[in-house]
Structure 1
Amino acid sequence: MEKKTRNLIFGLFWMLLASSNLCIDGLNIWPMPSSLKYGAKTLYLSKDFGLDTVGSKYVDASSTLKDAFQRLLDIVETAHAIDTNSTYYNPSLLLKGMRVVISSPNDELQFGVDESYKLSIPSSGNPIYATLEAPTLYGALHGLQTFSQLCHFNFTTRIIEVRQAPWNIIDQPRFSYRGLLIDTSRHYQPLPIIKNVIDAMAYTKLNVLHWHIVDTQSFPLEIPSYPKLWNGAYSPSERYTMADAAEIVNYAKRQGINVLAELDVPGHALSWGIGYPSLWPSSDCPEPLDVSNEFTFKLIDGVLSDFSKVFNFKFVHLGGDEVDTSCWVMTPHVRKWLTKHGLNETEAYQYFVLRAQQIAISHGYEIINWEETFNNFGNKLSRKTVVHNWLGGGVAQQVVAAGLRCIVSNQDKWYLDHLDITWQQFYMNEPLTNITNLQQQKLVIGGEVCMWGETVDGSDIEQTIWPRAAAAAERMWTPYDKLAKDPRQVTGRLSHFRCLLNQRGVAAAPLTGRGRAAPEEPGSCYKQ
């Protein structure tokens, strides 16, 4: 087939798709809200569109709401120059501002916080105000994100429009935990890059940044109690101070996102021994951490103590995956310790994980562990454990049947570093597969897409994450009965959202092709 003919056919396909009712009557909101009603009028954003909080119990002492409102204005106006003197619009259709009414005065961000909101935009009034009601600040932040997607630049009038008024949207998330993992050990990610990822998470209503900070390859984080740990960083400049970590936590909180810190033990910890070699069973066999050395657990206690001063999320992730215990039996002093305590290597693995759990609990944390801990000794885990599935399907079903909570991240569908996994597969991956008991369904607290860092750094992380992570975000936010049964039904809407991310400065890749794909040829953003 000649290239011109192929391009014509491809272009016609996308034109037909975009004009079909598969975009839900042309509504381009992502993720799709729980409930919405709309009309046919067009309103115009006033040049002095403002924030009104009269009647709200929330006192914005931290300026979080004020800053979020300013971000809203910035992102809807960022792509074009607004003509504030335009006379095209009807003054009676001017949208003067937004009234935000928040029921709770508390701005604590924690797991399970109420993230629901109601957004109404009337089509008439004198003056016309949008109203955003939410039980908490964090529901209001989501409402602002939805409102931002209702705003469109009109190239004739040069002003911002809100089309299809009146609007009535009632919305809340399907799952309380909607995560994205980033890995700063395999490649260092500068703070501005991490902040860019957080911004895009807020656009998609993801609410947990799982920060896999350290691993075998590097230990970039400052630990004040044990300052030699970050000797394991790649270089002196590829490090994070504790002040940097606090900055990330605060930046994320102001957008309704918790930061989950991970300390992966006892495996994946070779870099720890660069500063403290006694943590290794031996220099020839350095991983996993030495189970026979009390200093190992003293250091873990110190690290988690320092974590608790900065990472204030309810959970800490303690890893526990891919533990090869052969170094323990090959190293004479560790083997002697195993014999003395009557433990084989599998029992020593259990001992290590459970002891680390108790240390974390002593610092006020509940624990998340990778699924190998459940697969090997699930009935021994603390009841405060959340099992993090990654190896494949069916694990969540077993975990909740055992009465434990679960996070779903099965690698065959939700690993972003697997570039062969398409956005369609991300969208269709269902965390509650084969879990029909309602009480057991509640134990699946959510899901997480994982951006492991072996092949991403600051140059390509965004296009590897987006838009595939956005596809999973709708799966985690939107009620099950509102999700598309065929991903072709949302192609046009996701394509529109991907282009919106680009317009907001997020390097989201085209929908076509494999993960991290580049545009194949010239053409519209909406056709790629």
Structure 2
Amino acid sequence: MLLPNCRGVFGLLLSLLLASTPVLAIWPAPSSISTGESTLWIGSGLSVTYNGKILPWTFGYEPKGSKFSSSEIVKGGVARAMKSIVQTNFVPWMLYNRMELETTEPSLLKYKTYITHLDITQSGTDTSKTFKPLAGEVDESYTLNVDKSGKASIKAVSSTGVLRALESFSQLFFQHSKGPFFYTKSAPVSITDKPEYDHRGVLFDVSRSFFPVDSILRTIDAMAYNKMNRIHIHATDSQSWPLEIPALPELHQKGAYAQGKSYSPADLAKIQQYAINRGIQPIIEIDTPGHFGIAALSHPEIVAGWDSAPWSAYCAEPPCGQIRLNEPRVDPFLDKLMNDILPRVSPYSAYFHTGGDEVNFNMYNLDPTVGTNDSAVIVPLLQKFIDKHHARVRKAGLVPMVWEEIPADYNVTIGKDVVIQSWLGDEAIASLTAKGHKVISSNYNYWYLDCGRGQWLNFGQAEFDTFYPFPDWCSPYKNWRLIYSYNPRANLTAEQAKLVLGGELAAWSESIDDATIDDILWPRASAAGEVLWSSPEGRTQLEASTRLAEFRERLIARGIKSGTVHMPYCTQGSNSTACQYL
């Protein structure tokens, strides 16, 4: 009878001992990390060298312009990392046992060993592909070392790898409870790291709801904190056209939600440059031929079935409208559109997303140039449309991306270069990769972040009983544990797995806006960020939960209004078993 109690007491004592120092919780988890128990301090006077030369840096430094320089990108990365360390850090009270922070954090009265120098070495030479790579074209690996004497060094092949290292470096430190003093208790530190997947992204829908530019920039910052590297901007849809096209100004003038709710060419350039300077590639999507209804307000001659009713018979959500498939005025319109937007995208991206999802064949009964929903008629027209449209993208030096319905549901042939975004689940990914297609996963069962929050549609009394209690189509809510459990390459052969380039979390914005986007994305997207950076195989939710809770506090300190991981009781003492189900 005594043995279980003894084990329980021993377990409690061990838990308290381990809790006396917070676990060094780098997020996403590095490939390899070793730490010690020595304390080092750091201040704003850090001296930095880059390839043997002094790199002058100042807080708030932001590289400017469309010409990207490795040293400028690194300088901006150093400025942001040091801001995170000495200006937007946090006191880690929630990582210690109750009331123990002040008695266990390092003393301010004892001699302090400071990190005074950071030496950065980049062994490779950046090219234009470094800043807008295809999958596999940039090396993001790095090593980070901090010895007990305070000597810190970063080695990486590319400036992108340096940025990833600087993010890990920024997560080594905490703020002291008694003032602006910053320390780590885990020296020496040695990290060797590289990503598991090349494509680690977030889909940001600015068409269902309008988001200020600052909201997009803030999301890019949060993605960089998570070592994510693709922001997919779903720029237009049937509900609104916020993207300004100078060659076709009537599109946003009539299709935006209101005056000022649009993105100018300067806005788009700012967003793209901001992303590149953080090692994130922007991918713009103009969805075609479906999800195009709003263009009817300015160009009714190219749109079939605008705002047709009942909408549920003709489209996935109101208002309906698709590009006419046999209308001679469509090609000149698309030529003009793409000749405008693609040269403004190609300096910053290797890809352009052409959409292709949820084309409703019933709509072509309403298309005067087609007049039938017969797939035998429609599919050849879709094939012709896709061939021409992808030719426009390739002519601009970009690789087309499509949603999976184009090859999977409509049987349209696409080029081997095309990257397919799959959202319909593991079976769909298995089928696509078995046919040799390159895929990124946005499996709605795991990685659709708008799901499980209830319907955004309204229902009259006649439909009340049918739809009560009004769940959305993709319930349940995808909590971080579910998101963390997903393996995009599960049950695939080795050859198929190579074709899964990575994945994207989707934040469709029918019920999301600037006031809620941070809470919707974070820390749930962080969970996927770790899946894509360092596959969680061999790690458990128990191990991940304390690190994610700590990282969430870093997000809050840095101005990202992240949702919670769990209550402080589950975090204090870095004891993940406190809230384990038994």
The bucket for the TM-score relative to the shorter chain is 0.7 to 0.9
SS in 2 for 1:455: coil
1:89-488 superposed matches below 5 A: 89-91=110-112, 93-106=113-126, 108=128, 109=131, 110-111=133-134, 112=136, 113-124=138-149, 128-156=150-178, 158-230=180-252, 231-281=254-304, 285=308, 287-312=321-346, 313-335=349-371, 344-377=377-410, 380-419=413-452, 420-437=477-494, 439-479=495-535, 481=537, 483-484=538-539, 486-488=540-542
Q: What do the CA deviations read for 1:40-87 (whole angstroms, capped 9, x no partner)? A: 1111114411211143799957622112211111111224799xxx97
SS in 2 for 1:97: strand
1-side partners of 2:259 and 2:140: how far apart? 40
Structure 2 vs 1, CA of residues 215 and 80 (structure 1 numbering), >3 Å: closer, same or farther? closer
Partner of 2:3 in structure 1?
A: none
Structure 2 vs 1, CA of residues 18 and 292 (structure 1 numbering), >3 Å: closer, same or farther? farther
Farther-moved stretch of structure 1 (498-507 vs 142-151): 498-507
TM-score by length of 2: 0.79
Partner of 2:41 in structure 1?
A: 44
2-side partners of 1:63 and 1:98: how far apart? 16
Partner of 1:492 in structure 2?
A: 546
- Across the aligned residues of Structure 1 and Structure 2, the Cα RMSD in angstroms comes to 3.2
Is there any run of 5+ residues in structure 1 with no aligned partner, and where? 1-14, 513-518
Structure 2 vs 1, CA of residues 241 and 157 (structure 1 numbering), >3 Å: closer, same or farther? closer
Structure 2 vs 1, CA of residues 119 and 524 (structure 1 numbering), >3 Å: closer, same or farther? closer
Structure 2 vs 1, CA of residues 408 and 210 (structure 1 numbering), >3 Å: closer, same or farther? same
2-side partners of 1:57 and 1:359: how far apart? 45
Q: What do the CA deviations read for 1:77-125 (whole angstroms, capped 9, x no partner)? A: 224799xxx973535x22112111112332531233111111011112x
1-side partners of 2:84 and 2:393: how far apart? 40
Structure 1 residue 363 displacement after superposition = 1.9
SS in 2 for 1:505: coil
Q: 2:30 aligned with 1:33, yes or no? A: yes
Structure 1 residue 32 displacement after superposition = 0.3
1-side partners of 2:499 and 2:305: how far apart? 41
SS in 1 for 2:33: strand
Structure 2 vs 1, CA of residues 89 and 47 (structure 1 numbering), >3 Å: closer, same or farther? farther
- The answer as to whether partners of 1:22 and 1:490 remain within 8 angstroms in 2 is no
Structure 1 residue 476 displacement after superposition = 0.1
Structure 2 vs 1, CA of residues 390 and 308 (structure 1 numbering), >3 Å: closer, same or farther? same
Farther-moved stretch of structure 1 (96-105 vs 115-124): 96-105
2-side partners of 1:96 and 1:199: how far apart? 26
Q: What do the CA deviations read for 1:379-424 (whole angstroms, capped 9, x no partner)? A: 7111111111102222111111111100011101000101411110
Paired residue total: 495
2-side partners of 1:525 and 1:198: how far apart? 32
- The answer as to whether partners of 2:507 and 2:521 remain within 8 angstroms in 1 is yes
Letter in 2 for 1:363: A
SS in 2 for 1:497: helix
SS in 2 for 1:169: strand
Is there any run of 5+ residues in structure 2 with no aligned partner, and where? 1-11, 56-67, 92-106, 309-319, 453-476
Identity %: 30
